Amino acid sequence: MLNHIILIGRLVRDPEMRYTSNGTPVTNFTLAVERSYTNQQGERDVDFIDIVTWRKLAETCAHHLGKGRLVAVDGSLQIRKSENNGRTYINPEVVASTVRFLDWPSDGNTRNNNGFNNSNNSNTSNNNSSGGYNNQSENNTNLDIDDDFDVPF
């Protein structure tokens, strides 16, 4: 069996981080993803997909992401069922294993809408060579975003 989802979209609002009763960080955010086809009016419909991240990845997303940021999410679909007033609610969500930041903060510095300051010496983010943040990796190499470099396009 295979349960693998890859999404690219923009955050609808700032991520919300909280902690479970045993102290594990968990961050939730909603991703707006355009469909690959147009409707009868020639417009692309948008799906709003709930994303959940855990542990170091949750901390990284909460500290470095904000509303409007473009990201790629790699994970699996999970159906959460809840019951309220005798009705059963089915809530699909994607549990992310990797979140890749596909753009830079719009204000040009390293402070996002959450008020957290991105520190180049921070050990809270795990970064791999492709610029993504991985929940499973323990690579402690930090990307210095203040260095001037040329983008090849």
Query: To the nearest whole number, what is the mean pLDDT of the chain?
Result: 78
| Angle at alpha carbon of residue 133, lines to 62 and 70, rounded to 5° | 65
Position 92 in a domain: yes
Residue 34 has pLDDT above 60, yes or no: yes
Is 113 within the bounds of a domain? yes
> Tokens 């180049």, residue?
120
Domain count, the chain: 1
Strands, E assignment, 23-136? 25-38, 44-54, 70-84, 87-101, 132-134
- Is there a domain that residue 151 lies in? no
**Residue 42's CATH number:** 2.40.50.140
The predicted-structure confidence for 54-84, as pLDDT tens digits, reads as follows 999 999 999 999 999 999 999 999 999 989 9
Instruction: Say which residues have a Cβ less than 8 Å from residue 138's Cβ, sequence separation at least 6.
Output: 126
CB half-sphere exposure, 114, CA atoms < 13 A: 22
**pLDDT tier for residue 136 given thresholds of 50, 70 and 90:** very low
Is 112 part of any domain?
Answer: yes
Provide the residue range defining the domain that includes 108.
Answer: 5-134
Using CA atoms, how far apart are residues 18 and 25, in angstroms rounded to an integer?
6
Q: Is pTM, for the whole model, over 0.85?
A: no
